[in-house]
Chain A
Amino acid sequence: MTTNSSKYNITVIGAPGVGKSAITLRLLYQEFVDDYEPTKLDSYQTMMDYQGQDVDVQITDTAGQEDYASVRDTFLRSGEGFLCVFSLTDSDSYSHIEELYNQVKLAKSMEPPQLPFLIVGNKSDLESSRQTKTEDAQRFAESLGVKYMETSAKNNENVTEAFQFLIGMLVESRSAETAPIESNTGKKKKKKNGGIKRFLCGLA
């Protein structure tokens, strides 16, 4: 098995305070970081295993704040896979999903099933404060043509699975791209440029 050297990007989006950073840091450090600082923008590099293959993954953790919308928009364009998070205990955050989905669709000029987009209901450990039913979120995701999962960054439930799902989509679509038979699919996919990296450093 060869090592896939090219990098895949997963961008984590969603309303403020839903646990985007908690999910990201759980994946990266296997611990629950209970820090209450709102994120401006963070970027991480990590290796993930996909079907026995080492995959180089860049994770972009974005701000949920509307005041940071212009930063987010830049990263919607450069993102490849989207982990769209809401909190199961905050129905307002659930109501933001559709808008975010439309923004991503527009930024990427792509639709499901090609669009690597996953809706994640986080904080499944807080069952007694749940405001969104699993069936409702499931049905809503289906109506958009995307997948739905429930996670708990606190109890480490489904976090790796959520990222794995998107990595799977990205790896598959890229290998389909390089296959000679389907030479036309995803031709527009942009190569990541140095500019983005520099931006990220600027904020660190």
Chain B
Amino acid sequence: MVTAHERCSISDIVCHVTSYTVFGCPLSKLCSRQKVSVPRVITDCIEAIEYRGLKSGGIYRISGNSASIQKLRFKFDREETVDLKDEEFDINMLTGFLKLFLRELPEPIIPFNQYPIVENAINNDRSCGHEATLTTLKRVVHDLPEPNKSTFKYLILHLVRVAHEEENQMDEHNLSIIFGPSLLGNHPDKANLLVDLPIQNTAIERIITNYRTIFK
């Protein structure tokens, strides 16, 4: 059976006519086709979310209407023009939509091969110190392939702004619980979510909190 991702990587023409052009498409394919450094679905979504304002309580935590999110997904996959700033899309739907895109990536923005490095750094955090962990995280981010690096930076800087709004109750810690698994996943063959979760959360929280050092 040909999966969506395989189909997507066979050729852009094939990819274009199936309904998997955006969701489930590898980041590099998507960016090179759209000729952008950050996929349009992410920039459109974040622009619309910031346009609405980041004060909404439980932003990124509260789930939007799943049927509406799926409908929107099909529109993006068919590359229809959608104005996400339109009032029909509420904030929880937009954040849910963005999270869905991240979950559907065949590989997280921080690729599987980097996971053991991050895991090791977090596990040795106590013995080696916070500074050493930050140095490793910084190197991992620095070494990311291009579309991943730009996309990750774009996303994290947005999350920094979200965490900055006290009213929404979503601080760095809470955001890291939401984004940990989708930004920094372990390889499915080795994954044990219950062991991986605290590592993912800690790493993402450190990155959001120390974004200045990480992206310097």
Contact = CB atoms under 8 A, between A and B. Distances in A.
A70 B193 contact: yes
Nearest to B67: A95
Contact of B194 (A38, A96, A99, A202): A202
B194 A199 contact: yes
Interface in B170-216: 170, 173-174, 177-182, 192-195, 197-198, 201
Contacts of A36: 58, 169-170, 174
Contacts of A17: 58, 61-62
Contact of B193 (A15, A64, A71): A71
Interface string A186-204: 0000000000000110110
A65 B65 contact: no
Nearest to A201: B194
A15 B63 contact: yes
Interface string B19-61: 0000000000000000000000000000000000000001001
Nearest to A67: B181
Contact of A67 (B173, B178, B194, B198): B178
B62 A65 contact: no
B62 A67 contact: no
Interface residues of A, number: 25
A38 B177 contact: yes
Given A37-B173, A37-B177, A68-B181, A16 B62 contact: yes
Interface string A46-78: 000000000000000000111110110000000
A203 B194 contact: yes
B198 A96 contact: no
B64 interface: yes
A14 B197 CA distance: 20
A93 B63 contact: yes
B138 interface: no
A92 interface: yes
A40 B174 contact: no
B197 A92 contact: no
Contacts of B169: 36
B85 interface: no
A90 interface: yes
Given A36-B169, A38-B177, A38-B178, A90 B62 contact: yes
Nearest to A200: B194
A99 B61 contact: no
Interface string B108-131: 000000000000000000000000
Contacts of A64: 63
A65 B65 CA distance: 13
Interface string A8-30: 00000001110000000000000
Contact of B174 (A38, A71, A90, A199): A38
A110 to B, nearest CB: 24
B64 A203 contact: no
Contacts of A33: none
A92 B64 contact: yes
A40 B182 CA distance: 14
A126 to B, nearest CB: 13
Contacts of B195: 202
A200 B177 CA distance: 17
A41 interface: yes
A16 B96 CA distance: 11
A36 B175 CA distance: 11
Nearest to A36: B169
A200 B173 CA distance: 21
B18 interface: no
A202 B199 CA distance: 12
**Most chain B C-beta atoms within 10 Å of own C-beta, residue among A36, A96, A99, A203:** A36
20 contacts: A15-B63, A16-B62, A17-B62, A36-B58, A36-B169, A37-B177, A40-B177, A40-B197, A41-B194, A65-B177, A66-B103, A67-B99, A67-B179, A67-B181, A71-B194, A200-B194, A202-B194, A202-B195, A203-B197, A203-B198
